[in-house]
């Protein structure tokens, strides 16, 4: 196990570190200055090793709660946004002050899911990250909590950090949390829970072991961390879930010490565009396909023809990403559609040779080309 882990960690050149609200704040909601100072010192030291560092930091809402003197975490979106607007500046000021003591330059990047799901904005964000990293800057990323609404929320910084790891082609994603890592059952309720040191592949058993554990200030439980693991490892980033309270945890990880739970990056990561289609986008609608088409897509990696389409739902335009469902209503893939929803409704179930007769035009023989399709099963 240890040898495997060391092998994957010895050539790390770019690392994304995510720190959660529960690690950054006291139970009161006020910032835990000792933890933040320790984190900045560690990140600066990792940077001194010649490793590029990106920090994904929660804590804006928590910092705002403390500043505003609130007794508990706000429950409505506008209240959370107000707390975030107050807290984000406090949090960044703290980071800038501490990083400057170690001679480091920090930059703030606030993202929403729309920045990831829109292909142009996704590529622009990638370019921004690379420009900052080339200048030796440490980007500090958070969801733009002051303006997001439910429809565009990542909902937790575990998912956001995994998307950032894929965005910048990071070698390693480290989730600093308030627990030691993944157990085969919830250690808070089962004293016999066994610790899992190494995950070669995220199976249904691993997902089942995650359960759902969280804290009063954070939003992401263990299941969100496992989902983040799927996103990160499929893009070629290894991931570690580890307790952020240890004094020198990042250097310990990079030195190959067996702490936390290590998730191995897949040997065959998804091509960048397909990874974006699989995890970065919010599909505009659904297409249900028959069993024959499902087999053609998953087993033979074929394009989707109109003949295999059973039904559609939602309204979408040509060029948008849609979700592909099988007859059991299971999501089996995402793809960039060649026709709008009205046209798909007209040509569903037909042979490709009949498209022009029905629509009066034919730009494509296929509804989704294999190059623009990613399967999720």
| 236 carries a ligand binding annotation | no
| 159 carries a ligand binding annotation | no
| 58 carries a ligand binding annotation | yes
**What is the SS3 assignment for 302-344?**
CCECHHHEEEEECCCCCCCEEEEECCCCCEEEEEECCCCHHHH
| 221 carries a ligand binding annotation | yes
For residue 242, what are its two tokens?
A: 């580890």
| 346 carries a ligand binding annotation | no
Rounded to 10°, the helix 33-48/77-101 angle is: 50
At a CB cut-off of 8 Å and minimum separation 6, what does 172 contact? 9, 12, 14, 15, 16, 237, 238, 239, 240, 253
The secondary structure element, H or E, covering residue 273 is: helix 272-275
CA distances, 75 to each of 31, 79, 129, 216 (Å): 20, 7, 33, 12
The DSSP output letter for 372 is G
At a CB cut-off of 8 Å and minimum separation 6, what does 278 contact? 234, 270, 334, 374, 376
| 273 carries a ligand binding annotation | no
DSSP, collapsed to helix, strand or coil, labels residue 40 as helix
| 291 carries a ligand binding annotation | no
| 51 carries a ligand binding annotation | no
- Residue by residue, DSSP assigns 99-165 as HHHTT--EEEEEE-HHHHHSHHHHHHHHHHHHHHHHTT-EEEEEE-TTT--GGG---SHHHHHHHHH
CA distance 23 to 18: 10
| 118 carries a ligand binding annotation | no
Backbone torsion region of residue 316, taken as left when φ is above 0, otherwise alpha when ψ lies between -120 and 50, otherwise beta: beta
The secondary structure element, H or E, covering residue 21 is: helix 21-24
CA distance 25 to 45: 22
| 157 carries a ligand binding annotation | yes
| 225 carries a ligand binding annotation | yes
Residue positions forming the annotated binding site for substrate: 58, 145, 157
Residue positions forming the annotated binding site: 18, 58, 145, 157, 177-178, 219-225
Residue positions forming the annotated binding site for ATP: 18, 177-178, 219-225
């Amino acid at each position: 196990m240890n040898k495997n882990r060391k092998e994957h960690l010895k050539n790390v050149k770019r690392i994304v570190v995510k720190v959660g609200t529960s690690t950054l704040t006291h139970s009161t909601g006020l910032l835990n200055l000792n933890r933040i100072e320790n984190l900045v010192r560690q990140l600066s030291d990792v940077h001194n090793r010649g490793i590029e560092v990106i920090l994904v930091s929660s804590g804006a809402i928590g910092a705002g709660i403390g500043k505003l003197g609130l007794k508990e975490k706000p429950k409505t979106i506008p209240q959370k946004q107000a707390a975030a607007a107050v807290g984000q500046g406090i949090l960044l000021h703290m980071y800038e002050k501490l990083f400057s003591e170690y001679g480091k330059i920090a930059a703030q990047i606030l993202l929403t899911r729309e920045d990831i799901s829109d292909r142009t904005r996704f590529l622009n964000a990638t370019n921004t990250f690379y420009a900052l990293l080339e200048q030796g800057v440490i980007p500090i990323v958070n969801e733009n909590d002051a303006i997001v609404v439910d429809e565009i929320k990542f909902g937790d910084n575990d998912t956001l950090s995994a998307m950032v790891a894929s965005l910048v082609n990071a070698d390693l994603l480290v989730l600093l949390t308030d627990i030691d890592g993944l157990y085969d059952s919830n250690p808070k309720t089962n004293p016999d829970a066994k610790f899992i040191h190494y995950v070669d592949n995220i199976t249904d058993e691993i997902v089942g072991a995650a359960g759902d554990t969280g804290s009063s200030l954070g939003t992401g439980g263990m299941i969100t961390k496992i989902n983040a693991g799927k996103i990160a490892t499929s893009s070629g980033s290894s991931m570690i879930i580890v307790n952020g309270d240890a004094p020198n945890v990042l250097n310990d990880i990079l030195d190959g010490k067996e702490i936390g739970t290590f998730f191995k990056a897949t040997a065959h990561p998804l091509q960048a565009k397909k990874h974006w289609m699989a995890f970065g986008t919010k599909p505009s609608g659904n297409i249900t396909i028959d069993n024959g088409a499902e087999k053609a897509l998953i087993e033979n990696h074929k394009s989707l023809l109109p003949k295999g389409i059973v039904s559609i739902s939602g309204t979408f335009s040509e060029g948008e990403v849609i979700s592909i469902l099988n007859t059991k209503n299971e999501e089996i893939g995402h793809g960039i559609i060649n026709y709008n929803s009205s046209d798909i409704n007209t040509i569903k179930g037909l042979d490709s040779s009949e498209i022009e007769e029905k629509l009066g035009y034919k730009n494509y023989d296929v509804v989704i080309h294999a190059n623009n399709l990613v399967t999720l099963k």
